[in-house]
Chain A
Amino acid sequence: MESSGGTPSCELTDKAKKYDRQLRLWGDHGQVALESGHVCLINASASGTETLKSLVLPGLGSVTIIDDTKVTPQDVGNNFFVESESVGSARGEVTLRLLLELNPEVRGTFVEQPLTEILDNQPDFFTPFSCVVATCLPECTLLTLSKVLWEAKIPLVVVRTYGMIGYLRVQMEEHTVVESHPDNEMPDLRLDRPFPALQKYIDSLDLDSMDHREHSHVPYVVILYKVLQRWIQEHGAAPASYKERKAFAEMVREGMREKESGRGDTIEENFEEGIKAVNTALLPTTIPSVVQSILNEASSITPSPTTKPFWIMARALHEFITSEGRGALPVRGTIPDMTADSEKYIKVQNLYREQAAQDADWVLRRVQEHSQQLGPRKVISSLESSVKTFCKNAHALRVIKGKSIAEEYKGSINLSEIGSHLENPDSELVWYVMLRAVDQFQSEFRAYPGYFQDQVETDIVRLKVCVNKLLADWGCGPIIKDDFIHEMCRYGAAEVHSVAAYMGGCAAHEVIKVVTGQYVPVNHTHIYSAITATSATFSL
């Protein structure tokens, strides 16, 4: 092939092209994590295959389906990954074959053994999985599974479609997130506590002696810093109240020069940007409370060879803050775009970057010291880049402490909170209670209410008893309206495809978060009502 001028061509591989649209979200390292993931699906129902579909497509490493049923006509009606010819065949086998067609890079197996047998006889069956997805399980089996996976520290995602209602439950003992990708980030400019290099550079600039072009091309961080110095001289402290910030913005505006040219832009854009940024840029540098509590926990941990790298890094981060960092997180090292000439903007940008690298380096040395104390076996893979990423995201670290389903079902739910939610007619929590009630109904009567056409009316009465008993157990009165009971009996446990597709998409997404360690998973119960197209998340 011809090559122009010897520069190496950077054309992408086929794989990079295929995954391009998602690599822009979770990056190559997220993809590597996904490709090393192994997910087990219990029951290839519509909700189950829809979940797997959105995992196979982006290239999850491998899948295992546990399903001991045969394909039924109902499956043909609501499950895209069976064919009409497959009625009577093993559902796990059929769905696996049709799912794997979506992506030749994904490997898969199916198991036709009943789950209860696996749970009874093969206690280590689930050890290889990075996550287990369960659908269509009766309550008692779900509780057993929940206990097994909780003890084995394997994340469990339960997904369920019941008529127009969807249920998603994520069970994890602990989940740590470095790259949470927050939507709206405040810039980390350190105007209240500039590092020496930044201060020195800004002090070296004299706005008054600049010509017009230069003056209108100074990055606003410089302008705000200089005005802040004057403000502090006059007022003793940085502007804190809304009124003060408004006066501060006025002071910035006073420094603006009229442009020479008569027509068109008479304002200096860099000053305009600075005025707009006053509210966010002047916020004092703080440690978010969520991060602070992670640091507190990290400082109380005694590192051992089994301690996760996250906690070792968090501990080193804590040490940085209490010494080198003088109470602040490492400098993030990225700044917003600012109207400026190339030279000044890049100079400023590099100052932040260099400080960030320096801070991260300090943290890295501490992490290395800790790791060495834990013995030669404890090596964190690609340590340097891990610590760099950790420091860059220090302001957005997240830890989720979960609760097991078994624990939740024991009744240690905050009753007063449930009660108050239930009295709100729009609360999706009503559907949570209804799902718990139909499960009790099922354990008692061996079928879900309204499952048989000729029993809908009698089931309404029976379900009402189940609901009120459940509420009484939680110390609540019979506060659920009959409408919800009627509606549940109308559904008769129907798994309607579009609702299953919605829930499958959500469940797959949560699995991706769990497996990649990026973005923040649901904690811990998510209820969707397709009736009103509304949803809510509860930590019960």
Chain B
Amino acid sequence: MLPWGERWGEVRKLLERPGPFTHPDFEPSPDTLKMLQENMKVLVIGAGGLGCELLKDLALMGFTKLHVIDMDTIDLSNLNRQFLFRKKDIGESKAKVAAEFVNHRVKGCHVTYYYNKIQDFGEDFYRSFHLVVCGLDSIVARRWINGMLLSLLCYEDGMLEQNSVIPLVDGGTEGFKGNARVVLPGLTACIECTLDLFPPQVNFPLCTIAHTPRLPEHCIEYVRILLWPKENPFSSETAIDGDDPQHINWIFEKAQKRAAEYGISGVTYRLTQGVVKRIIPAVASTNAVIAAACATEAFKLATSACTPMNNYFVFNDTDGIYTYTYEQEKKEDCVACSQVPQELEMKLSDKLQDVITTLAESLQYQMKKPGLTAMIAGKTKSLYLHSPASIEEKLRPNLKKTIEELGLQDGMELAVADVTSPNTVLFRIKIKT
């Protein structure tokens, strides 16, 4: 057994010595390392490119009570950066293999894993953590966990109770670019406050795909969206599986054919797979940098040995190494974190579908499948829900009805539920004239 003190000597210098750049609350003491090891419970969301790095980084910064959630299994294309996985692990749970590897390598560290979706757990689960660190590629999941942490906040006489705040450290990468941020839910800008930072997904207009293709991507999308459901190459109920080489190959060959008809060049197998799976390029080095920046912030938040960054960090190592750190401001009327009642404007002549389109397309909301319920004359009335299918079918005619026909009036409350948040958003209807 190693002498504990010597092993953690490097971290202890930061924790046991005073310094001019520490948080005002910081008390140099050996107790801080003990606290880090014995009390601090940290949740890592995602055991992929960032998650693997985060587990390693946090374990070697002295955290021992780590928990990790990931619903994915290991794929061959992960191995160029997700360094806790080997070829023999393909098909296994990412969370499981990552946890077991770190537990084996870093003695004394105990990673608990969950081969789950984040939505499988509720408030009691998330409330048990002191800190959440996210390494996700999904914006929806980020928004959901943000909403979850916000729903855990307690207000006493309108004042936020500090001990209900669970800090969120979030990282993201795309190729040679990345960002890291610190969110103190209820206190600083949350994920929803800065939704406009996420570029809206690029979708080619259907008429371009169908009639006037110009790019190789248009040809691939033609096969994916229009030809596949028509020809059903692998029996009628088979949906496209981006990891099935036969599927990709079919799309690739048909797309090549279409491209040839129009004289378009550049349809390759790689591009086909990229478009179908919406692949984001990724490289070990940039992932390592962003995860490390997140781990450093987690360490600062947990120990106060240094003031956390304020609060958004942008990184790009295409041309030299460029970073920019600045404060994202809390949005006064944020849908998720402000206490301000939300207003949703609509015209009496708008159809319900128009309202849903607004919620989906406006940069401010970017919802995926909003379900709408109204309070009419003291009764809740479902206007439109995506599931279950039987209800959806029953409510579908509402989409074509106008606000007036549905009996909605100025000042009424509209509850909107969406996959982007565990919480329902309450809007007050404002009728435009």
Which residues of A approach B to under 8 Å, CB–CB?
4, 7, 9-12, 14, 16-25, 46, 50, 53-54, 57-59, 72-74, 76-80, 83-84, 87, 101-104, 163-164, 168, 180-183, 217, 337-343, 345-346, 349-350, 450, 456, 483, 486-487, 490-492, 494-499, 501-502, 504-506, 508-510, 512, 519-523, 526, 528, 530-535, 537
Cβ of B321: which chain A residues have Cβ within 8 Å of it? 168, 506, 509-510, 522, 526, 535, 537
From B80, B269, B320, A537 is in contact (CB under 8 Å) with: B320
Cβ of A340: which chain B residues have Cβ within 8 Å of it? 212, 214
With A11-B245, A505-B285 given, name 8 new contacts (CB 8 A).
Answer: A12-B269, A21-B77, A77-B8, A163-B14, A217-B212, A490-B17, A498-B61, A498-B299
User: Are the C-beta atoms of B306 and A502 separated by less than 8 Å?
Assistant: no
What is the bound-complex CA distance between A250 and B125, given in angstroms? 59
User: Are the C-beta atoms of B323 and A534 separated by less than 8 Å?
Assistant: yes
Is B40 an interface residue when CB atoms closer than 8 A count as contact? no
Which residues of B approach A to under 8 Å, CB–CB?
2-3, 6-11, 13-14, 17-21, 53, 56-57, 60-61, 76-77, 79-81, 83, 86-87, 105-107, 175-176, 180, 208, 212-215, 245, 249-250, 252-253, 262-264, 268-270, 273-274, 279-289, 291-293, 295-297, 299, 306-307, 309, 313, 316-321, 323, 325
Name the residue on A nearest B320 (C-beta): A522
User: Are the C-beta atoms of B2 and A76 separated by less than 8 Å?
Assistant: yes
User: Are the C-beta atoms of A487 and B19 separated by less than 8 Å?
Assistant: yes
Name the residue on A nearest B298 (C-beta): A498
How many residue-residue contacts, CB under 8 A, span A and B? 263
Distance between B285 CB and nearest chain A CB, rounded to angstroms:
4
From A103, A345, A504, B214 is in contact (CB under 8 Å) with: A345
Q: With A9-B249, A337-B214 given, is the CB distance from A498 to B319 under 8 Å? A: no
Distance between B262 CB and nearest chain A CB, rounded to angstroms:
5
Cβ of A11: which chain B residues have Cβ within 8 Å of it? 245, 249, 269
Cβ of B293: which chain A residues have Cβ within 8 Å of it? 502, 530, 533
Name the residue on A nearest B215 (C-beta): A337
22 CB contacts below 8 A, A to B, read: A14-B76, A21-B81, A22-B283, A54-B285, A73-B3, A74-B7, A102-B83, A164-B21, A217-B212, A337-B215, A338-B214, A342-B263, A345-B214, A456-B17, A487-B20, A498-B292, A501-B53, A506-B289, A508-B285, A510-B321, A512-B285, A537-B320
Cβ of A346: which chain B residues have Cβ within 8 Å of it? 214, 262-264
Distance between B76 CB and nearest chain A CB, rounded to angstroms:
5
Cβ of A456: which chain B residues have Cβ within 8 Å of it? 17
Cβ of B306: which chain A residues have Cβ within 8 Å of it? 164, 530-531
User: Are the C-beta atoms of A20 and B295 separated by less than 8 Å?
Assistant: no
What is the bound-complex CA distance between A532 and B19, given in angstroms? 14
Cβ of A46: which chain B residues have Cβ within 8 Å of it? 60
Cβ of B287: which chain A residues have Cβ within 8 Å of it? 505
Q: With A9-B249, A20-B77, A24-B281 given, is the CB distance from A342 to B13 under 8 Å? A: no
Q: With A180-B319, A487-B21 given, is the CB distance from A54 to B282 under 8 Å? A: no
User: Are the C-beta atoms of B61 and A497 separated by less than 8 Å?
Assistant: yes
Cβ of B86: which chain A residues have Cβ within 8 Å of it? 101
What is the bound-complex CA distance between A338 and B249, given in angstroms? 28
Cβ of B20: which chain A residues have Cβ within 8 Å of it? 483, 486-487
Name the residue on B nearest A3 (C-beta): B249
User: Are the C-beta atoms of A73 and B80 separated by less than 8 Å?
Assistant: no
Distance between B176 CB and nearest chain A CB, rounded to angstroms:
7
From B9, B60, B282, A22 is in contact (CB under 8 Å) with: B282
User: Are the C-beta atoms of B180 and A533 separated by less than 8 Å?
Assistant: yes
Distance between B207 CB and nearest chain A CB, rounded to angstroms:
10
What is the bound-complex CA distance between A213 and B323, given in angstroms? 47
Cβ of A504: which chain B residues have Cβ within 8 Å of it? 288
User: Are the C-beta atoms of B13 and A182 separated by less than 8 Å?
Assistant: no
Cβ of A16: which chain B residues have Cβ within 8 Å of it? 270
User: Are the C-beta atoms of A520 and B309 separated by less than 8 Å?
Assistant: no
Name the residue on B nearest A536 (C-beta): B323
What is the bound-complex CA distance between A456 and B14, given in angstroms? 13
Cβ of B7: which chain A residues have Cβ within 8 Å of it? 73-74, 76-77
Cβ of B180: which chain A residues have Cβ within 8 Å of it? 533
User: Are the C-beta atoms of A523 and B320 separated by less than 8 Å?
Assistant: yes
User: Are the C-beta atoms of A58 and B60 separated by less than 8 Å?
Assistant: no
User: Are the C-beta atoms of B214 and A505 separated by less than 8 Å?
Assistant: no
Most chain B CB atoms below 10 A, which of A79, A491, A496, A505: A505
Distance between B257 CB and nearest chain A CB, rounded to angstroms:
9
Distance between A133 CB and nearest chain B CB, rounded to angstroms:
13
Distance between A59 CB and nearest chain B CB, rounded to angstroms:
7
5 tightest A-B CB contacts, nearest first = A505-B288, A505-B289, A502-B292, A533-B309, A497-B60
User: Are the C-beta atoms of A509 and B57 separated by less than 8 Å?
Assistant: no
What is the bound-complex CA distance between A430 and B218, given in angstroms? 52
User: Are the C-beta atoms of A509 and B61 separated by less than 8 Å?
Assistant: no
What is the bound-complex CA distance between A340 and B215, given in angstroms? 11
User: Are the C-beta atoms of B6 and A73 separated by less than 8 Å?
Assistant: yes
Name the residue on B nearest A2 (C-beta): B246
Q: With A497-B57, A508-B285 given, is the CB distance from A25 to B80 under 8 Å? A: no
Distance between A523 CB and nearest chain B CB, rounded to angstroms:
7
From B11, B106, B250, A496 is in contact (CB under 8 Å) with: B11
User: Are the C-beta atoms of B249 and A24 separated by less than 8 Å?
Assistant: no
Name the residue on A nearest B282 (C-beta): A21
From A101, A183, A499, B296 is in contact (CB under 8 Å) with: A499
Cβ of A183: which chain B residues have Cβ within 8 Å of it? 316, 318-319
User: Are the C-beta atoms of B264 and A450 separated by less than 8 Å?
Assistant: no
Cβ of B297: which chain A residues have Cβ within 8 Å of it? 533
Q: With A21-B81, A342-B262 given, is the CB distance from A74 to B283 under 8 Å? A: no
Distance between B248 CB and nearest chain A CB, rounded to angstroms:
8
Distance between A198 CB and nearest chain B CB, rounded to angstroms:
17
User: Are the C-beta atoms of B325 and A23 separated by less than 8 Å?
Assistant: no
User: Are the C-beta atoms of A342 and B212 separated by less than 8 Å?
Assistant: yes
Name the residue on B nearest A534 (C-beta): B325
User: Are the C-beta atoms of B281 and A501 separated by less than 8 Å?
Assistant: no
Distance between A98 CB and nearest chain B CB, rounded to angstroms:
8
User: Are the C-beta atoms of B281 and A21 separated by less than 8 Å?
Assistant: yes
Cβ of B106: which chain A residues have Cβ within 8 Å of it? 80
User: Are the C-beta atoms of B8 and A533 separated by less than 8 Å?
Assistant: no
From A24, A530, A532, B279 is in contact (CB under 8 Å) with: A24
What is the bound-complex CA distance between A445 and B390, given in angstroms? 80
Q: With A53-B288, A346-B262, A501-B292 given, is the CB distance from A496 to B318 under 8 Å? A: no
What is the bound-complex CA distance between A419 and B262, given in angstroms? 62
What is the bound-complex CA distance between A531 and B26, given in angstroms? 14
